[in-house]
Every structure is written in structure tokens, then in C-alpha cells.
Amino acid sequence: MNAPLGVDAVLPEPRDRLAGLRLARLRIAARGRLEVRGRVEVERGARVTVARGGRVVLEDGCLLGAGCRIEATGGVVRLGAGARLGARAVVVARERVEIGPGSAIGEWALVCDTEPTYDDPERPTRLQPLRVAAVTIGDNARIGAHAALSAGATIPAGAVVGSYETRSSSASP
């Protein structure tokens, strides 16, 4: 038997009467840039921020855990049907982040399609350009608690990324 992974604990909180109001508030705040297809569960403290030019698509059966954050700062974030975003997990897109159907992102995990560059050692990192590349998480993949996925990471269907693990296109799996 496999040891439990932090993401296996992404379970919805007991339903409360305010879940529908939370989703309505998120839709109003996103000014038409949040697309909800079907029934989505939104737990207390979940935030969705969509800048001009950005878009967030939530498919049927998605779960946004307590205190999680989705930010589309010009890109597209898409959560497939039945995808679960754990408590206080963060998803940020400047280009595109695709989370496949049935996937689970563990608590405090980070999925971001940008990462800093270190081309000039004489120049501070904060003054160097960011590398932007789409992040794709396949169907039924599991991302452990506190894991970090950055620019260009591609996680195949059914794969498991362990807790505290880091992945990007520049890092070997």
C-alpha cells in the first residue's frame, strides 16, 4: 500500500448555506471574466482575481478549497471537471495554466506559469525579465502539499508530484 500523499486529504468541508453566495460574489468581482460551467463548490476565503485580458474557467464539479487563490493576470486558468484545489493553494497565470479533469492540487501548493531568469549575474534578479511558459497538469494527476510548479511544467495524466517537490521545464523530473 502506498503512503498517503498530502493531496489525498483534499476533501470538501461540510456544505454550508453560503457557498452559492460566495460563487456569486466571485462572479461579480471578476466582471464577466470568470466562466462557470456546471456546479462548483467554493469554500470560505477562496479568492479569484481576473485582470483585464485574463480569464478563469471552472468546469462542473470543481472544488476551490478554503483560502485558496486563483489569479489570471492576463492569461487563462482552466480547472477541468472534478478538479480540486486544496486549502490555501495558489494558481497564477500570465499565459496559461491547465488543470485536467479529476486532478487534485494539495494544500499550500503553488502553480505558476512564470519564473525568474538569471541571465546576468551582475544585475539583481528583480530587474531581470520573467520567463513565461504554459503549465499543464494532466487528467487525474496529484500535486502534493507545498509542491511548486513553475513555467513550462508538464505533468502527465495520472502522475504524482510529491509534497515539497519542485517542477518546471528547466528542472529534470
Q: Decide if pLDDT at 116 tops 70.
A: yes
Instruction: Reply yes or no on whether the pLDDT at 1 is more than 60.
Output: no
Contact 68, 94 (CB under 8 A): no
Per-residue confidence (pLDDT) for residue 26, from 0 to 100: 73
CA distance 86 to 72: 18
So what's the pLDDT on residue 4?
A: 45
Rounded CA-CA distance 120/139 in Å is: 38
Domains of the chain in start order, with CATH, are 34-167 (2.160.10.10)
Judge contact between 119 and 137, C-beta under 8 A: no
pLDDT at 2: 46
pLDDT at residue 34, as a whole number? 87
DSSP state of 2: P
Q: What is the mean pLDDT of residues 77-98?
A: 96
| pLDDT confidence band for 125 (50 / 70 / 90) | confident
- pLDDT at position 8 over 60: no
Q: Which amino acid is at 58?
A: L
Q: What is the pLDDT of residues 100-109, one digit of tens each?
A: 999 999 999 9
pTM for the predicted model, two decimal places: 0.84
pLDDT at position 134 is: 96
* Cell numbers that stand for 13 in this block: 468541508
